[in-house]
Chain A
Amino acid sequence: MAALGTAIDSLTAAMKCNIIPNQEYLLQGSVLDQYVEVLLHRLRGLCDNVDSGPETFNDHELCYSLRANNVNTPMALPLRVRRALDVSDAPFQLRYVGQQELGDKNRPTVVRSCIDMACSSTIIEFLSELGCRLDFEYIARGYMFRKGRMKVTVSKIFKMNGIANKPGEGVEAISQSYLVELSVQAPSGQDAIAEDMRVFAEQLRPLVQLEKIDYKRLGNMM
């Protein structure tokens, strides 16, 4: 039997072959509450999981960031933890999301680097002891659809009220709309998928305008 390679060896091999899905292609939009049924209906027709219907989710997302204390080199590593409130034995999801690149006009989607991993429930304590601090948290409830490699989520975002001691209680929706996200995770360089996403987004118009949204501009605007 061949000697075992270390896990790092296999990881570097995987990185060399470029099979790690470390890029996320993303389009975002929203739909008003009263039209969400129409959108769900359309998505049901367009997406793969036709017969089983949409998958519902009720997730609690905690957004952390790891920051160094020195002033002259401001570094921050954003980390997000997502956990299912409706499925108690599901693993937690830890996610690193990097800077997003809008690219030029010809690029159909936002691209950002990301690393997704499943982990045990100790992650919350782990991160806070690691030196991360919780920036904000919210609850996302909604529906998930799949179309090939594409993932469509239609979710209502709730703000957590400080008084409630259980997530899922005493929450309030932050807007009259559902957030719609179309995303694909792929190894870097697979830009063809972005084109597929543009075509798919086109099919949801004028119900939802899925667009590249610039966070920086958004930050200045609001």
Chain B
Amino acid sequence: MGVTILTQFPVENKTGPQIIELLSKRISALGAVPQGQFLVDCETYSSVPALGHQRTVHVLHNSEQPATVFALLETGTKTIPLATDGLFDLLMMKMSSFYQSKKQTKAESKGPRFEIGDFCVKLGSVTVSSNFKGVLVEVEYKPCVVPAMCWDLIMEFMQGFLGSLGPTTPPSFLQNRMQDIYSPIDTIQQYLEHFTLFRKSPGPALIMRPQ
């Protein structure tokens, strides 16, 4: 698991498949090899009033870590990450009288996955309760585990195929974690950040870039 940077690609009056197609062509021209599909999904549960103040649990799955379930608990003041295994979903069902899922907010990002050198590129079209919301580009540089060391390198790579639309600053989530060892849950937190933005935005056309 290496450092992963997630960025949003502006839609600009195109459909999701069109953008994915465009980016796929660009990355393939650089010599990337398609390596299957990927899927990241997120379901959100919020606490019942009887449990005191409002808390939210986001449960995310990433096809890159198929046996792991990620849960992020938002208390309002902080976010607590938890990595656990597949049966956690079963436990969430048991907890249904304390934490109820908000059906309208099921978000997922899915699409093709490419490998090029030591990089892994994923182009995901994001849907929130099956409405298309936008496109997320994920770039992972597998050999390196400290974001600060390889940020410039990844940025250069992303600008290579996203052009001027590539990111110029690290994602806000990573900004104060640049010297830490990167772990899969950090990717998940980036996804959650973007999903939250997408949920708030009314439609695909009006998305602001998160920076």
Interface residues of A (CB under 8 A from B): 1, 3-4, 6-8, 10-11, 15, 20, 22, 66, 68-70, 75, 77, 94, 96, 115-120, 122-123, 125-126, 129-131
Q: Which 3 pairs across A and B sit closest by C-beta, in order of nearness?
A: A119-B84, A7-B61, A68-B50
Beta-carbon contact of B94 and A70 below 8 Å: no
CB distance from A125 to the nearest CB of B (A): 5
Q: How far is the CA of A22 from the CA of B93 in the complex (A)?
A: 13
Seen from chain B, the residues whose Cβ lies within 8 Å of a Cβ on chain A are 36-39, 41, 43, 47-48, 50-52, 55, 57, 61, 63, 66, 69, 71, 73, 75, 78, 80-91, 94-95, 97-98, 108, 110, 185
Query: Does B88 contact A117, Cβ atoms closer than 8 Å?
Result: yes
Whether A4 lies near B110 (C-beta < 8 A) is yes
List residues of chain A with CB within 8 A of the CB of B69. Answer: 7
Known pairs A4-B38, A4-B63, A75-B98. 6 more at Cβ < 8 A? A66-B95, A68-B98, A77-B94, A126-B80, A130-B57, A130-B73
A-B contact pairs, 24 of them (CB 8 A): A4-B39, A7-B41, A10-B86, A11-B86, A22-B90, A68-B51, A68-B98, A77-B95, A77-B98, A96-B94, A115-B87, A116-B87, A117-B84, A118-B84, A119-B83, A119-B84, A120-B82, A120-B84, A120-B185, A122-B81, A126-B82, A129-B78, A130-B57, A131-B51
Chain A residue at minimal CB-CB distance from B77: A129
Residues of B contacting A75 with CB < 8 Å?
A: 97-98
CA distance A96 to B87 in the complex (A): 10
How many angstroms from the CA of A118 to the CA of B86 in the assembled complex? Answer: 9
Chain B residues with CB under 8 A of A123: 82, 84
**How far, in angstroms, from A119 to B69 measured CA to CA in the complex?**
9
CA distance A157 to B11 in the complex (A): 61
Q: Are B37 and A4 in contact, with the CB atoms below 8 A?
A: yes
| Contact call B37/A20, Cβ cutoff below 8 A | no
A120 to B69, CA, bound (A): 11
A71 and chain B: residue at smallest CB distance: B50
Establish whether residues A125 and B84, one from each chain, have CB atoms under 8 Å apart when the complex forms. no
Q: Who on chain B is nearest to A130 by CB?
A: B73
- By a CB distance below 8 angstroms, the chain B residues around A129 are 55, 73, 75, 78, 80
Within 8 Å by CB of A117, from B43, B61, B85, lies B85
Looking at B48, B61, B82, B97, the one whose CB has the most chain A CB atoms below 10 A away is B82
Say how far A129's CB is from chain B's closest CB, in angstroms. 5
**Contact yes or no, A130 B55, CB < 8 A:** yes
